[in-house]
Structure 1
Amino acid sequence: MNLLKCFELASGLKVNVHKSSIFGIGVDEAELNVLANHMGCQVGKFPFIYLGLPIGSRMRKLNDWIAVVEKFNNRLLSWKARSTSFGGWVVLIKLVLTSLPLYYFSLFRAPPTVIKYLESVRRNFFWGGLGLGSKISWVKWENVINSFWNGGLNIGSLKSKNLVLLGKWWWRFKTEADSLWVKVIRSIYGSFGGLLSGNVNSHSPKIDVWHSIIQAGTLMEDLQVRFKDSLSKKIGDGGSTSFWHEHWIGEDKLSKTFPRLFKLDQATDVMVKDKLVFDEGGTNFIWS
């Protein structure tokens, strides 16, 4: 409370304690109630909504995505689809139905059941609009959502959008190295956040959100999308680049290209900066 008071005096912004909640992780409920009474705030329960996203929910089941499903259904009910042309339906699907779940997709990996349901809503609206009864699907939905170059209407797949938005966190992990969230992930999963191995360490605590982000890169590789190869960086002083585990240009990981040397080396998690010495005589390797 003293810290909040100092914040108020320094910034002129006052925290409304009565509208605030205190949450406990691994804290006894009785102790939490005592703290809440002392501070004059409420006791919060998980999951809760923060900046429009659920915090504390595992987001693995259809019930966790009810908010997104309801947004789809409410938006459909508000449209006058009977007076909308076929071209208008395509525009509505692209600009509205496709955009509604993106905020959730940017952090959570949607379960297959959710993707299937949302795609069925888009498909049914595309072929029949709203309130027009069921219509014949003349073309496979996979062909309809395809790009213009592949003969589709460039609507896009929700599953693909979900994976791409999760994949962006790979890029952010590398470019926001000094951010607090990156430091937290590194403290749990190591210097590379589990991204290089494509999986989390079995001994590390499993964070569902980050685990889904790690899996997104692997899933795209399984779909023949060379996602990891599309990410590149300059080594610089080599302080943040793994010598053995990074993908080098034109090659695989050095650990796979030279497996025997890799097994002999005692410092397999060493950085480039610590592996190479630059002097007047050239570049020398430091082996352990």
Structure 2
Amino acid sequence: MGTVPFTYLGFPVYYGKKCNSHYENILRKIVQKLLGWQNKLLTYGGRHILITHVSQSIPLYLLSAINPTKGVINLLHHNFAKFFWSGNRGERRKHWVAWEDICFPKKEGGVGFRTLHGVTKALFSKLWWRFRVSTDSLWSTYMWNKYCKKQHPVIAGARGASHVWKKIMEMREEVEQGIGWQIKSGNSSFWYDNWTRKGALYLTNDMEDGDEDIEVQMCINNGEWDKEKLCELVSEEVVVQIIKNIKLNVRQDEVDQPWWIPNTSGIFSVQVCF
């Protein structure tokens, strides 16, 4: 029988607390790549291109599905900065600006490098988006049954969960603010999905422990909003806003469609972070 930790499809598989030693392969690969360039005559612009388009692209596959320790990411940043500020023969030179500062966009006084902490957040934000919208995928179904079988994903906990799920939970609130739901059959959660485009209703309404989650279709009657039912659930001000601003186009054969509000295409993208 095999022992842990081991590598499977390029990812470290381990049990228990994650350690820097689990990521030695990716660290070694990047360091060797940087060492191979040190004896070449490179300008700061050349080093910038090599770091941005080669070195920082190597760990993307790993970061897309695993949350390494902060120590691993900081060590990668240290090696990137060491290479950037080094001389043409690899001699050590003073780091005139902290790595965190040169990772700002150029218009904000930085050099435009990507901070891998930010990249990790962006990639795990996309995992939450995929989890919420890809209900027919094997991964989404597995995660739903493992962590959200008894609770809506918006309020599901992370106690005793995997490192990946805990990291996804960290990004949940921020991503949920950008997800809107277009009403079709009305299967969205009345309380927890942002179908009003003003935020989830449970955030602005006092809900008691005994209150059950219901679907939006419970407040629709013959293709129109059921004002009486809405008034039983939310304030009159919210009812007016719903009836006035949310036009119904009920289609019983279609599920409600997610929409990424910040993007005109309605599809989540991490490109802006890169």
User: Is the structural similarity TM-score above 0.5?
Assistant: yes
Residue 209 (1) aligns with residue 154 (2): no
Give a deviation string over 1:84-140, Cα, whole Å, max 9, x none. 222111111101121111111101112111111111111111111575322122223
Instruction: Name the CA distance, whole Å, in 1 between partners of 2:172 and 2:73.
Output: 18
Structure 1 pair 281/100, CA: closer, same or farther in 2 (3 Å)? closer
- Corresponding residue SS for 2:177: helix
Structure scoring higher RCO (CA < 8 A, sep ≥ 6) equals 2
Residue 64 (1) aligns with residue 19 (2): no
* C-alpha contact (below 8 Å) 1:69/1:118 kept by paired residues: yes
Instruction: Name the CA distance, whole Å, in 1 between partners of 2:197 and 2:163.
Output: 33
Counterpart amino acid of residue 51 in structure 2: I
* Aligned with 2:155 (options 182, 185, 197): 197
Identity %: 26
Q: What does residue 10 of structure 1 align with? A: none
Counterpart amino acid of residue 219 in structure 2: L
Shift of 1:246: 2.4
- Corresponding residue SS for 1:49: strand
Instruction: Name the CA distance, whole Å, in 2 between partners of 1:129 and 1:194.
Output: 55
Q: What does residue 256 of structure 1 align with? A: 203
Q: Which runs of 5+ in 1 are unaligned?
A: 1-42, 222-226
Shift of 1:70: 0.5
Query: Structure 1 length normalisation: TM-score?
Result: 0.70
Task: Single out whichever of 142-151 and 228-237 deviates more from structure 2.
Answer: 228-237
Counterpart amino acid of residue 255 in structure 1: Y
Instruction: Name the CA distance, whole Å, in 2 between partners of 1:280 and 1:89.
Output: 61
Q: How does 1:1-288 map to 2 (within 5 A)?
A: 43-57=1-15, 60-129=18-87, 131-190=89-148, 195-197=153-155, 199-200=157-158, 202=159, 206-217=161-172, 221=174, 227-239=175-187, 241-249=188-196, 251-259=198-206, 262-263=207-208, 266-267=211-212, 269-273=213-217, 275-279=218-222, 282-283=225-226, 284-285=228-229
Q: Which runs of 5+ in 2 are unaligned?
A: 234-274
Residues paired across the two proteins, number: 231
Instruction: Name the CA distance, whole Å, in 1 between partners of 2:12 and 2:88.
Output: 30
RMSD over equivalenced CA pairs, Å: 2.8
Structure 1 pair 276/110, CA: closer, same or farther in 2 (3 Å)? same
Larger Rg: 1 or 2?
1
Shift of 1:148: 2.1
- Corresponding residue SS for 1:255: helix
